[in-house]
Chain A
Amino acid sequence: MKRLLLPLLCAFLASTTVHAATDGEVAARRTALDIAGAFTNDGFKLRDGHWSGSFEPGKSAIIQVNLYAGNQYWFTLGATGPAKKVAISIYDETGKPVKIDGEHSFQDTSVAAAGFSPDNSGVFFVKVAVVDGAAANFCLVYSYK
């Protein structure tokens, strides 16, 4: 895991000089990568891309992704300290929530993860939210196999 995470973190930290990512964004990504690294032990490949931003209670953020039927996915969210509890929700292309059972979800203060395997290829939406706490930076990454 360290072998994978180190170059990823180095690449990200190097790229921050280019994109002038805030300290909060760097911290949120580090948090997300720490958890996402666990999935690589189970054969998941961590995608070398991320989505960063800020959110606050009552003001969630949503991203559109395109997934393939047959693949398994884990979405991992990391946030900075002011967010005391965060959540990830996944929706299909009609906006209907995708049911994630307990075995495929994880939540611990400023970190959350949700895993599922789509029945159909196409558009999905991932919503990230602060359930408890204050405005914070977040970073979402995903892994697949």
Chain B
Amino acid sequence: MIWNFRPLAGCLACVCLCASAAADETPLTPEEMTGASRVDGLSIPMPGEFMAALNKLGKIDWSAKFRLPIGTSYTSRPQMALNLGGLIADGYIAIEAQDAPQVKNIGRDVITLATALGVGEEVKRRSSSIEAFAEKGEWDQLKEELEATQNEVKEAMAEAKDQDLVTLVTVGGWLRGVEVTSGQIAAHYTELGGKLLRQPGVIAFLDQHLERLSDKDKDDGSVRIVRKKLADIEKLLILPPDKAPTAAQVKELNQLTTETLKEITKKQK
């Protein structure tokens, strides 16, 4: 909790006239908490945030977290969206690993899936800068570019009234993020690491949005698998604030997410 904010204070001093915020110290009512806004663009953490927290636990060999290339020729749009989300999460992993060729390979797969979903232009517009940042090893800028690309893809989907796809991209990315982080924490278990996995608000948000999918999308094979597995994952991630999942629970979580991702990358019959 003790940070060194002197440089920051200096920056702010240049722009501020006074520096005391009038924070409200009255607790929120249950109604206020229930009625709080929940928006994809701010309420769901980006993979980069999760990875920043995970990096503080110790040095991580991110290149060991790569997975074999997944297919990109699905016929079902919900399945494409789920895998697009997973691929974007793979992009964050490649950036953490500072592996330029891997970033480019994933970028190509992202373009293929995004194009099939009708939002390829948004990705193509950014692909040259993504490649340039990767070649120059400008990893922080690359992370920002990937985050912006992800948001543009979602905005384009929302604009095309494809809110279901936005939800599925978010779910796919979140699943891949949890798979990687739970794998890392399971292999080097500490209670502090386990606590990072506690995400009741995210689970509730994803549940609500999956529930709002159209009947047609809910009936898609890959979506059925995700909804079923999410119910099991939920049991492991909803814990009291001061309680960490046990090492066995983290392993179980890792197995569940790995199985789910394997299922959704299989071509549907």
Distance between B185 CB and nearest chain A CB, rounded to angstroms: 12
Task: Check B18–A107 contact: CB distance below 8 A.
Answer: yes
> Could you tell me the distance between the alpha carbons of A93 and B17 in the complex, rounded to whole angstroms?
33
Q: Does B97 contact A (CB under 8 A)?
A: no
CA of A18 to CA of B38, assembled, Å: 21
B residues less than 8 Å from A34 (CB atoms):
15
B21 lies within 8 A of A105 (CB): yes
Q: Name B58-85 residues within 8 Å CB distance of A.
A: none
Per-residue B-contact encoding for A89-102, CB less than 8 Å = 1, 0 else: 11111111100101
Q: Which A residues are CB-close (under 8 A) to B45?
A: 65-68
Expressed in whole angstroms, the Cα–Cα distance for A47 and B48 within the complex equals 9
Query: Chain A contacts of B27 at CB under 8 A?
Result: 91, 94-97
Does the CB pair A69–B53 fall under 8 Å?
Answer: yes
A69 touches B195 (CB 8 A): yes
Interface segment, one of B4-12, B212-220, B225-233, B250-258 = B4-12
Query: Given that A15-B155, A45-B48, A105-B20 are known contacts, is A63 also in contact with B36, CB under 8 Å in the complex?
Result: yes
Known A45-B143, A45-B144, A97-B27; contact A66-B20, beta-carbon cutoff 8 A: no
Q: Are B144 and A62 closer than 8 Å at their CB atoms? A: no
Pick from A53, A68, A85, A131: contact of B49, CB under 8 Å:
A68
Q: Are A63 and B43 in contact (CB under 8 A)?
A: yes
- How many positions in chain B have a CB within 8 Å of any CB in the partner chain? 65
Q: Mark B18-51, 1 if CB is under 8 A from A, else 0.
A: 1111111111111011011111111111101110
Q: How far is the CA of A25 from the CA of B1 in the complex (A)?
A: 33
Q: How far, in angstroms, from A103 to B12 measured CA to CA in the complex? A: 11
Given A41-B11, A64-B37, A107-B18, is A123 in contact with B200 using a C-beta cutoff of 8 Å? yes
Residue ID in chain A nearest B45 by CB atoms: A66
Residue from B11, B32, B52 within 8 A of A95 (CB atoms)? B32
How many residues of chain A are within 8 Å of chain B by beta carbon? 75
Note all chain B residues with C-beta closer than 8 A to A39: 8, 11
Complex interface bits, A35-58 against B, C-beta within 8 A gives 1, otherwise 0? 100110110011111110100000
| Chain A residues whose CB sits within 8 angstroms of the CB of B1 once the complex forms | 116-117, 119
What's the nearest-Cβ distance from chain A to residue B26, in Å? Answer: 7
Give the residues in chain A near B140, CB-CB below 8 Å. Answer: 45
Closest 9 CB pairs of A and B: A49-B41, A95-B28, A123-B201, A68-B53, A105-B21, A38-B11, A107-B21, A42-B8, A89-B24
* B residues with CB within 8 A of A: 1, 3, 5, 7-9, 11-12, 15-30, 32-33, 35-46, 48-50, 52-53, 56-57, 140, 143-144, 147-148, 151-152, 155, 159, 192, 195-202, 241-242
Which residues from chain A sit less than 8 Å from chain B, CB to CB? 4, 7-8, 11, 15, 18-19, 34-35, 38-39, 41-42, 45-51, 53, 60-72, 85, 87-97, 100, 102-109, 112-117, 119-123, 125, 127, 129, 131, 140-142, 144-145
